[in-house]
Chain A
Amino acid sequence: QKEVEQDPGPLSVPEGAIVSLNCTYSNSAFQYFMWYRQYSRKGPELLMYTYSSGNKEDGRFTAQVDKSSKYISLFIRDSQPSDSATYLCAMSALAGGTSYGKLTFGQGTILTVHP
């Protein structure tokens, strides 16, 4: 069983829809949770970063962490065609740059938002 599971999709939604992307994990030591966005033929870029449980909002994006259920989500409101990308969750037990030898990624979910 993988430490981090993410439904690869693909997910196709109409413009303006609310999108929900999810990851589950098995390692209870994970405390730092990230979402990366990857456009086609590009490298991933950090979208959201949260620590421990709770919600974090940034514009149209909301990240949720439920450590008791070992479940994290990314919600995209009023989705746009420019949101079409692969979304990867990532998590670690340690903070910042010292953690990156132990950063675990999900498989990525391919999202298409059509006009």
Chain B
Amino acid sequence: NAGVTQTPKFQVLKTGQSMTLQCAQDMNHEYMSWYRQDPGMGLRLIHYSVGAGITDQGEVPNGYNVSRSTTEDFPLRLLSAAPSQTSVYFCASSRLTTSYNSPLHFGNGTRLTVT
């Protein structure tokens, strides 16, 4: 009963370094997304995907890349980390349906610090 799994849990990067945040779900959900959570800002959508091969930008996409080659995985790439990207990152997934009984399932987050 894994749900949404995010790795790593913690990461410290130096400015300019690159890294990939991993997200995997085992619920066969079509919809997957990445949010960042900052104090006083709530959750802000970075990128999302409605299926393999389909991605779109959210509210704050700059500095981040995504791809969706399988239903299960949705990695988030930081190409050149900046201190402004210090945040807690959450991956979330859902069935793609118009029913309001399809809630978002969140992972437990990756805490990223960029120095």
Which A residues contact B (CB, under 8 angstroms)?
4, 6, 8, 32, 34, 41-46, 49, 51, 88, 90, 94-98, 100-101, 103, 105-108
Asked whether A107 and B33 contact (CB < 8 A) given A43-B107, A101-B58, the answer is no
Decide: B42 and A97 in contact? CB cutoff 8 A: no
- B42 contact set on A, CB distance < 8 A: 4, 6, 88, 105-108
CA distance A98 to B49 in the complex (A): 11
Which B residues contact A (CB, under 8 angstroms)?
4, 29-31, 33, 40-45, 48, 50, 56, 58, 90, 92, 94-104, 106-109
Asked whether A43 and B109 contact (CB < 8 A) given A100-B31, A100-B48, the answer is yes
- Of the candidates A34, A45, A90, A97, the one whose C-beta lies within 8 Å of that of B31 is A97
Q: In the complex, how many angstroms separate the beta carbon of B52 from the nearest chain A beta carbon?
A: 15
Chain A interface helix/strand/loop/mixed: mixed
- B90 contact set on A, CB distance < 8 A: 43-44
- A44 contact set on B, CB distance < 8 A: 43, 90, 104, 106
Decide: B94 and A100 in contact? CB cutoff 8 A: yes
Asked whether A107 and B97 contact (CB < 8 A) given A43-B107, A97-B30, the answer is no
Q: In the complex, how many angstroms separate the beta carbon of B9 from the nearest chain A beta carbon?
A: 9
Q: In the complex, how many angstroms separate the beta carbon of A13 from the nearest chain B beta carbon?
A: 22
Decide: B99 and A96 in contact? CB cutoff 8 A: yes
Asked whether A49 and B100 contact (CB < 8 A) given A8-B40, A43-B107, A101-B58, the answer is yes
| Residue in B closest to A44 when the chains form the complex, CB atoms | B106
Most buried by B among A43, A51, A108: A43
